[in-house]
Amino acid sequence: MSAEHYDLVVVGSGFGSLFFVEGFLRKRPTARVLVLERGRHHSHRWQIENGRNSAVAPEDTYRTPPGHKIWNFTIGLGGGTNCWFAQTPRFHPSDFRLRTLYGVGQDWPFGYDELEPYYVLAERKMAVAGSPDMAELLPRSAPFPLPPHALTSVDRVMRAAQPAFHFPMATARASAVNPQRARCCASARCNLCPVDAKFTFENGFRNLREHPSVEFRTECPVTRLDLANDTVQGVIYETGGEERRASGELYVLGANALHSPAILLRSGADHPFTGVGIHEQAGYSVEVLLDGLDNFDGGTITTALNYALYDGEFRRSYGSALIYFENRWPYGLRTEFGRWRQLAPLVVVVEDLPQDQNRVVVDDDGMPRVLHERISEYARVGVERSFEALEKVLAPLPVERIDFKGMRATESHVQGSLRMGRDPATSVVDADQVHHRLRNLVVVGSAVFPTGPCANPSLTVAAMSLRSADRLA
């Protein structure tokens, strides 16, 4: 086993890891960084030609009992930046204080205000498009880098009637040509964007890819961490059929919320919450038939978010819901002559709370097994109540009928298996994302979320990594 030494040894190259390295190098530009990535580098061209984001299917990397939930993610250089749809809403200030405000879940160890400057930096890096009006709901200290995408006719009616709730989508799909990438043309297949309009590792992290002291090594799965005296002594990984070891001053674990806990479990890290509480949001699809209002004239795949069911006292009893207004037609257009576009597909996403029985464990052969039989009662009731409330929310529209189109198998968000908190007895990492016991280990990515707000996670993952790196570097 040969040995190598770096300032920073990083496991995984997804959102959490990349934004941590970005933040670290802002303060320590000459730091020597090694990034060990399990997957290959699949270029944009490779992904388009092969119609997938990775040669490795997520379900080949873990086991789950029959009937349990499935999980979706990308194994490859850049992780989730390859497959994501680039929806980038911030979390709501209340999301960070669920226990204080509503007596459920846990508070995050820092609040919205503390994360806000890092939200700005993450949005700049991703060239996020959005409307300044959104600041009324989610306060911001700087404008969005790009203007918002055009709303649909449906959105314009909703926005006029509900200016406090209905906002143009915040998204890292470019609304204007910019030095990083092309403009989004609403082709609506963003996991494989044909024109490269969304932010990815390949088009957005050239600075790291070409950085003289950063080395990305692909096809190097990390199997375990070498632990002694409450510190990480090294990272053990495989390459070309051999086992190798790399050591560093600081270690960053960013292998996603399913594989990061598996690595810790294989290493013998014994915090009782390791792997515990894995979760994501509960989503469902709806199709709204409209009388005389044509849709699908917006500027991108998802044009608006409606926050009418997002926050309030009801969160004491059931989960909040965020409504995504879609500029695409997953169930086809209408068949009646001349009424093809008189419909509005929606996706409703409901927050879930982590449950301790849902967890990642490791089989005898080292393969992760995810136990997740069902969503919480909190989320189940949230689904029911949000669907009942839709008629009222959509009252400004000429609604003919609202059709429930079924629960979505996954929101493609893996979260909460190495939760963050101030108390070492009930959380795995502290407010800076440093492991409570292994003080030279930082855990990044959505693994550390203590609760599961219904907004998309990756902008928050990025902002948190920038914050953590700023404090630790």
| 111, 153 Cβ separation under 8 angstroms | no
Of 5 and 189, nearer to ligand SF4 (C-beta) is 189
Binding site for ligand FAD (CB under 6 A): 11-17, 36-39, 72-76, 79-80, 83-87, 191, 221-222, 254-257, 259, 263, 412-413, 445-447, 456-459, 461
Task: Find which of ligand FAD, ligand SF4, none residue 198 binds, CB within 5 to 8 Å per kind.
Answer: ligand SF4
324 binds, among ligand SF4, ligand FAD, none (CB under 5 to 8 A by kind): none
Nearer to ligand SF4, 92 or 173 (CB): 173
Per CB under 6 A, contacts with ligand SF4 among 325-354 are none
Judged by CB under 6 A, which of 115, 128, 158, 301 binds ligand SF4?
301
Q: Which one of the spans 190-198, 288-296, 305-313, 350-358 is the region binding ligand SF4 (CB under 6 A)? A: 190-198
Q: Which is nearer to ligand SF4, 195 or 402 (CB)?
A: 195
In terms of Cβ atoms closer than 10 Å to its own Cβ (0-12, 13-18, 19+), residue 361 is middle
Tokens representing 257? 């919320």
Residue 84: which of ligand FAD, ligand SF4, none does it interact with, CB under 5 to 8 A by kind? ligand FAD
* Structural tokens at position 79: 């992780």
Identify which of residues 15 and 108 has a Cβ nearer to ligand SF4 in the complex: 15
Query: Which residue's CB is nearer to ligand FAD, number 153 or number 233?
Result: 233
Task: Give the dihedral sign, CA 403/408/412/414.
Answer: positive
Q: Which residue has the tokens 């893996």?
A: 414
**For ligand SF4, which residue of 159, 173, 279, 436 counts as binding (CB under 6 A)?**
173
In 64-186 the beta strands, taken as DSSP E runs, fall at 166-168
Nearer to ligand SF4, 184 or 225 (CB): 184
Sheet holding 343-350, edge to edge: 166-168, 302-306, 321-326, 343-350, 282-290, 399-407
DSSP 315: G
Residues 137 and 167: beta-carbon distance below 8 Å: yes
Q: Which range touches ligand SF4 (CB under 6 A), out of 50-58, 181-189, 255-263, 361-369?
A: 181-189
Instruction: Decide if residue 176 touches ligand SF4 (CB under 6 A).
Output: no
Least distance (Å) from ligand SF4 to the CB of residue 47?
A: 12
Binding segment toward ligand SF4, per CB under 6 A, in 20-28, 45-53, 159-167, 193-201: 193-201
According to the binding rule CB under 6 A, does residue 188 interact with ligand SF4? Answer: yes
- Residue 38 contact among ligand SF4, ligand FAD, none, beta carbon within 5 to 8 Å by kind: ligand FAD
Q: Does 184 bind ligand SF4 (CB under 6 A)?
A: yes
Q: Is 405 exposed, middle or buried (0-12, 13-18, 19+ CB in 10 A)?
A: middle
The answer for residues whose C-beta is within 8 angstroms of residue 189's C-beta and 6 or more apart is none
The least distance separating ligand FAD from the CB of residue 252, rounded to whole angstroms, comes to 10
Q: How far is CA 120 from CA 11, 70, 124, 169, 380, in A?
A: 26, 33, 6, 16, 34
- By a kind-dependent CB cut-off of 5 to 8 A, residue 353 interacts, out of ligand SF4, ligand FAD, none, with none
Question: Residue 472, Cα to own-chain centre: how many angstroms?
Answer: 23
Structure tokens at 338: 């001349």
Question: Quick one: what does residue 91 bind among ligand SF4, ligand FAD, none, with the CB cut-off 5 to 8 Å set by partner type?
Answer: none
Closest contact distance (angstroms) between CB of 416 and ligand FAD is: 11
> Exposure string (b/e) for 275-300, b if CB count within 10 Å is 16 or more?
bbbbbbbbbbbbbbbbeebebbbbbb
**Residue 189 within binding range of ligand SF4, rule CB under 6 A:** yes
- Total binding residues toward ligand SF4, as defined by CB under 6 A: 14
Residue number, 187 or 233, with CB nearest to ligand SF4: 187
b/e map 370-393, b = 16+ CB within 10 Å: bbbeebbebbbebbebbbebbeeb
Q: Is 186 in the site for ligand SF4 (CB under 6 A)?
A: yes
Helices (H) and strands (E) in the chain, counts: 11, 15
Residue 17's nearest CA partner among 332, 417, 469, 334 is 469
Nearer to ligand FAD, 300 or 342 (CB): 300
Q: Which two tokens stand for residue 195?
A: 């024109």
**For residue 24, what are the contacts with CB-CB under 8 A and spacing of at least 6?**
8, 31, 33, 469, 472, 473
**For residues 454 and 6, is the Cβ–Cβ distance under 8 A?**
no
Rule CB under 6 A: is residue 195 a binding residue for ligand SF4?
yes
**Least Cβ distance, residue 452 to ligand SF4 (angstroms):** 25
Under the binding rule (CB under 6 A), the answer on residue 289 touching ligand SF4 is: no
CB of 225 to ligand SF4, least distance (A): 37
304 binds, among ligand FAD, ligand SF4, none (CB under 5 to 8 A by kind): none
Quick one: CA dihedral 405, 165, 411, 386, positive or negative?
A: negative
11 binds, among ligand FAD, ligand SF4, none (CB under 5 to 8 A by kind): ligand FAD
Which one of ligand FAD, ligand SF4, none is in contact with 255 (Cβ closer than 5 to 8 A by kind)?
ligand FAD
- Chain residues in the site for ligand SF4 (CB under 6 A): 173, 184-190, 193, 195, 197-198, 300-301
